[in-house]
Amino acid sequence: MKAVIIAGGLGTRLRPLTNNIPKPIVPVANQPFILQQIELLKTHGVTEIILNLHYLSDSIKELTREKKLGVKIDYSIEEHPLGTAGAVKNAEEFFKGEELIIVLNGDILTDINIGEVIKFHRKHKAMATLTLTPVSDPTPYGLVLTDPHGRITDFIEKPSWERVQGIDKWEINAGIYVLDPKIFTELPKHAPVMFENYVFPNLLKKGAPVYGYSTKAFWMDIGNPQKYRMAHEAILRSEVTSFRVYGTRDKGNIFIGENAEIDKTARTTGPIIIGRRVKAGAHTVLREYSCVGDNVTIGKKSLISRAIIWEGTKIGNNVKLDGCIVGAHCKIEDDVIISEGSVIADNAIITKGSIIGA
C-alpha cells in the first residue's frame, strides 16, 4: 500500500514558527510532526510513502533519510505550489497501476483508523473516499453532504448559518483520502489543481462513486498557533491514542527525557513533557500542559505554565511564560513576562524585564 503526504506548503498560518523550518517538521511533543504521520500510516499497512515537498524540502529529506523509519520513502518535489490534487498528480510516477493511494494532508493530527477507511472504500467500490469528521461550527469549512449509505451528494464551501439549518449532520473533509489512481489520468501535469473545489465536485458531476467515511476519532488541523497549542493539550490528556510521547513517566502524567536535571526544590505538575537534557533551577515551577524541548535551560524562580518551548532556548531567572510558544535557541533574560497567545520566533533575544502580550 502506498500513501502520499502533502507536505509542500509554506506554513504561513504558523509563522513565525515556520520562518526557518517547514511545517512538517515543526516539533509536536518534541518530535518532528511528519514522523508521527509516517508512523500512523505504517501502522495501517502502508509500505511506501511519497512525500510531496516544496518549501525547505532539503531539511525534510535530511530528517527522513537519517531515521530508520521501517518504510520506503520517496520524494516528489514541487517547483511551484500545485494545490492539493496537483501535488499528488506531480507524484504520479510513483503510483501508476491499479493499487489504491492514500492521501494525507501534512498538517493533520489524528488517530483515525485508516485501515477501516480502506475497507469501507473497497466495500463500496468507490472511486474516491473522503474521511469526514463532525464539527460544531461548519461555517469556516467546506460542508460535505452524504446519503444514508455514505455516498457524497454535495459539497457546500464555507456555508452561512442560514444555509446549514435543517442539515442533520455537519461533517467536513478531514484531509485523508483513499483514491483510485485513475482519477488523475485527465488532470494536467504541473498545473495547480485542488481536490476540494475541482476534482471531487467534478467526480460528482460525472456520477462517479464518491463516498464519505464518517468518524468521531480524534482529528485536528494544527496549522495555526492556537491549534498547535491545543494539539499539545490533547496529546497530554491522552486524547490522541496513536501518539507516542517519549520520556520516562513520573507520577503518571509527567514525561521526563534522558539526562534532565530538575532542581530538588523545583516543582512539576502534570500533564507535562520535559525534554532531554533540560535543566531547571531552584524554586522554578513547571506547570501543566507545558512542553519543554530538548536542551532547554531554565533559571531560578521561574514559572512555566501551558507554554511550549522549543529546543535549545535559554530562560533566565524570575521569568514567567504563560500560554505562549517560544521558538528554538531563544534567549529569554531575567524578569521577562510572556503572556497568553504570544509566539516568539527562533533565535529571538528578549531583554531583561520585557513584558510581551500582557
Which of 70-79, 259-268, 283-292, 321-330 comes out lowest in average pLDDT? 70-79
Q: What are phi and psi of 201, to 5 degrees?
A: -60, -40
Q: What are phi and psi of 321, to 5 degrees?
A: -115, 120
Say which residue the cell 509527567 belongs to. 254
DSSP one-letter code for 244 = P
Residue 24's closest CA among 78, 116, 105?
A: 105
Distance CA 60, CA 68 (A): 14
Give yes or no for residue 67 having a pLDDT over 90: no
Q: What are phi and psi of 14, to 5 degrees?
A: -95, 0
Helices (H) and strands (E) in the chain, counts: 7, 32
Beta-bridged to residue 326, according to DSSP, are 309, 344
Mean pLDDT of the 100-109 span: 89
Distance CA 240, CA 49 (A): 22
Residue 140's closest CA among 235, 221, 49, 236?
A: 221
Q: How many CB atoms lie within 10 A of CB 318?
A: 17
Distance CA 176, CA 153 (A): 18
CATH class, 2-231 region: alpha beta
| Residue 237 · residue 229 · CB < 8 Å | no
Percent of the chain as helix, strand, coil, to the nearest 5? 20, 30, 45
Residue 273's closest CA among 315, 322, 227, 306?
A: 306
Do 2-231 and 248-356 come out as alike in CATH topology?
no
pLDDT value of residue 141: 79
CATH classification of 248-356 is 2.160.10.10, yes or no? yes
- CA 221, distance to chain mean position in Å, is 6
What's the first-to-final CA gap in the chain, in angstroms? 50
pLDDT value of residue 358: 59
Strands 128-134 and 171-179: antiparallel
- Summarised one tens digit per residue, pLDDT across range 138-188 is 887 778 899 989 999 988 887 777 787 778 788 888 889 999 988 888 888
Domain ranges across the chain: 2-231, 248-356
Give yes or no for residue 14 having a pLDDT over 90: no
Distance CA 279, CA 336 (A): 18
Q: What is the 3-state secondary structure (H, E, C) of 270-329?
A: CCEEECCCCEECCCCEECCCEEECCCCEECCCCEEECCEECCCCEECCCCEEECCEECCC
What is the number of alpha carbons within 13 Å of residue 248 lying toward its C-beta?
8
pTM: 0.87
Strands 325-326 and 308-309: parallel
Distance CA 142, CA 169 (A): 13
Which of 78-82, 186-190, 335-339 ranks highest by mean pLDDT? 335-339
88-91-92 Cα angle (round to 5): 95
Q: Is the peptide bond before 188 cis (omega within 30 degrees of 0)?
A: no
* H or E stretch covering 355: strand 355-356
Strands 210-214 and 128-134: parallel
Mean pLDDT of the 97-110 span: 86
- Summarised one tens digit per residue, pLDDT across range 257-303 is 999 999 999 999 989 999 999 999 999 999 999 999 999 999 999 99
- Summarised one tens digit per residue, pLDDT across range 218-233 is 998 888 999 999 999 9
DSSP one-letter code for 199 = I
